[in-house]
Amino acid sequence: MNSQLARHVLDQLQLAGVREIVVCPGGRNAPFVELLAGLSFRATWHFEERSAAFFALGRARALGEPVAVCTTSGTAAGELLPAAMEGFYSGTPLILLTADRPRRFRASGAPQAAEQKNLFEPYTVGSFDLEGSERLDLSGFEVAAPLHVNVCFEEPGAEPTPPPAPGSQKWIDAPAKALTGFLGASRAPLVILGALLPEERNPVERFLLELGAPVYAEAPSGLRESVTLGSLSLAIGDRLFARTAAAGYPVDSVVRIGGVPTHRIWRDLEDRQAMLPVMSVSRFGFSGLGRASKLGLGSVAEILGMTSIARVKVDTTGLAANDHVLASRLQGLLGQEPRSEPGLFRALSRRIEPGAGVYLGNSLPIREWDLAATREQRGYEVTASRGLNGIDGQVSTFLGACRAGRANWALLGDLTALYDQSGPWVLGQMPGIQATIAVINNSGGRIFERMFGRPEFLNAHGLAFESWAEMWGMQYQLCHSVEEISSLGQGVRVVELRPDAESTARFWNGYEELLA
């Protein structure tokens, strides 16, 4: 269905006179990317949507005909707004082609699910929102100014089987009472911890110890390294639902505490585990799911403190033992491949000064830190911008979050750093800051390497970051291992880390075998 809808939209663009498309490839707009190679459009590829939109604007002026710019979902779509505004007031025929998650995700706060319908409405001559078998008719449509076509696709690489039914995302009255009833009806709950405030962590720990359920804690929760949680805390999140069942703990419900999780576990609740009951307890008013679930909104500490806990009724020792074995094998694999990307993250997590602020950028860094970072208690304050999971503005957000009197580290991918090249402008106004921007330069968007076989998704490049550092007066180091990183006094530096591609490939192959 995705490819049929994408082909229909591209056919309609041709009817509207479009011959050129500027494409910023991503997971959500993959149906367009995969079709373009076989069609007669001239495609220009770009990794950064704001610049891509202005390039398309320039092409439309040069050609005197409509040119499209195609993006994935979330903040990527929002980056088109400045060009849309210019195109509206200059009468330029720019077509804004944005991929989107299905409509059932709207207002849910699920990853990369923004309210994209009519996103550019004041600055367009038309706005269309399509899903499934719905059709677009642009025959005879005169594009005299920006036109927005928003296309909702199901999960990349898989058609819905069937799609989960939409559900109410209304908040629950008396959330503690609702959570009491939810846990009372569960024999084997699983708890997933998203981002937590520092003052929420101790109450959450106490609650989890009393509950006795297995816990997967993401880094921004601050409880990933908790010694208190002991064997309740699971180190390996991949294929977790299958592993729990095989280990004698068949999960029958999920409780999320804190922000919307980023791990694939959460995405599984949309399709593979769509029948599992889910309840969220959070200060954020988003369920994070495009299907029916319960949401207890308010003070996490107060809700948990008022909940009557029914301790889990299934023995967790088999699951804990399975997780321990996998975690031990993972450490062995990381030791064998120290120059792989995950190997570098393990070494970085041991190298960063205790008590440092650690900012994890989009998109591999947050995943690889969760997988490979040390579980020693080193007092890190780990943060990330995962409200909408956008890749943009990460350097600036990190610098804004830096605090004097401590070490501050950002772990960013190369494309993430390139998105925000002007971020260091503020450094002259930040005296006394000690900060390291660690750029993991794998020469492109390698997160898509295992998802799609087409080179267009990689945004491959041969760029280095020394000139960028020099331009903004930042210190610079090029390193192929974490051991090469020197100590930093006051100031800001860029550490460009180059992982070994073959070592990384061997690691991921070994990791797949480990999970098999």
**pLDDT mean for each 10 residues of the chain (516 residues):** 95 95 95 91 95 97 96 96 97 97 92 93 95 91 93 71 50 89 96 96 98 97 97 96 96 97 92 94 92 94 95 94 97 97 97 96 89 96 88 94 94 95 95 94 78 77 96 96 87 96 96 95
CA distance 99 to 69: 11
Which helix (H) or strand (E) element contains residue 355?
Answer: none
Q: Are residues 483 and 441 in the same domain?
A: yes
Secondary structure in 3-state letters for 169-186:
CCECCCHHHHHHHHHHCC
Tokens (6 digits) for 175: 């959330």
Q: pLDDT at position 319, please?
A: 97
Does residue 161 belong to any structural domain of this protein?
no
Q: pLDDT at position 166, please?
A: 52
Q: pLDDT at position 160, please?
A: 46
Structural domains in the chain (count):
3
CA distance 384 to 47: 21
Which helix (H) or strand (E) element contains residue 413?
Answer: strand 407-413
Q: Are residues 412 and 483 in the same domain?
A: yes
Q: Are residues 308 and 353 in the same domain?
A: no
Q: pLDDT at position 454, please?
A: 75
277 by Cβ neighbours in 10 Å (0-12 / 13-18 / 19+) ranks as middle
Q: Are residues 348 and 257 in the same domain?
A: no
The CATH number for 478's domain is 3.40.50.970
Q: pLDDT at position 483, please?
A: 95
Q: pLDDT at position 156, please?
A: 62
For β-strands 381-384 and 491-497, DSSP reports them as unpaired
- The three-class DSSP label of residue 473 is coil
Does residue 432 belong to any structural domain of this protein?
yes
**Cα 356 to Cα 70, 351, 410, distances in angstroms:** 39, 11, 10
Q: Are residues 310 and 452 in the same domain?
A: no
Q: pLDDT at position 169, please?
A: 54
Tell me the backbone φ, ψ of residue 279, rounded to 5 degrees.
-130, 135
Give the residue among 267, 259, 296 at the shortest CA–CA distance from 385.
259
Q: Are residues 364 and 485 in the same domain?
A: yes
Q: pLDDT at position 64, please?
A: 95
Q: Are residues 198 and 116 in the same domain?
A: no
Does residue 166 belong to any structural domain of this protein?
no
Q: What does the angle CA 452 – CA 456 – CA 461 come to, to the nearest 5 degrees? A: 115
Length of the chain: 516
- The three-class DSSP label of residue 123 is helix
Domain around 249:
175-320
Preceding omega of 422 cis (within 30 degrees of 0): no
Which residues, listed in sequence order, are joined to residue 170 by a DSSP beta bridge? none
Q: Are residues 280 and 312 in the same domain?
A: yes
Q: Are residues 107 and 252 in the same domain?
A: no
Amino acid at position 423, single letter: G
Does residue 329 belong to any structural domain of this protein?
no
CA torsion, ordered 280, 286, 289, 293, to nearest 10 deg: 50
CA distance 71 to 96: 8
Sequence-ordered strand ranges (E) for 113-272: 126-131, 147-152, 189-193, 215-217, 253-257
Does residue 272 belong to any structural domain of this protein?
yes
CA distance 334 to 341: 10
Contact status, residue 131 vs residue 103, Cβ threshold 8 Å: yes
Q: Are residues 206 and 284 in the same domain?
A: yes
Tokens (6 digits) for 316: 């967790």
Q: Are residues 122 and 36 in the same domain?
A: yes
Contact status, residue 301 vs residue 199, Cβ threshold 8 Å: yes
Does residue 179 belong to any structural domain of this protein?
yes
Angle at which helices 341-351 and 317-336 cross, to 10°: 100
**Cα 167 to Cα 103, 194, 389, distances in angstroms:** 12, 22, 23
CA distance 295 to 433: 40
Q: pLDDT at position 161, please?
A: 43
Q: Are residues 346 and 301 in the same domain?
A: no
Buried b (16+ CB within 10 A) or exposed e, 325-353: ebeebbeebbeebbbbbbbbbbbbbeebb
Which residues, listed in sequence order, are joined to residue 127 by a DSSP beta bridge? 148
pTM over 0.95: no
Q: What does the angle CA 208 – CA 213 – CA 217 come to, to the nearest 5 degrees? A: 65
Q: pLDDT at position 159, please?
A: 44
Which helix (H) or strand (E) element contains residue 362?
Answer: none
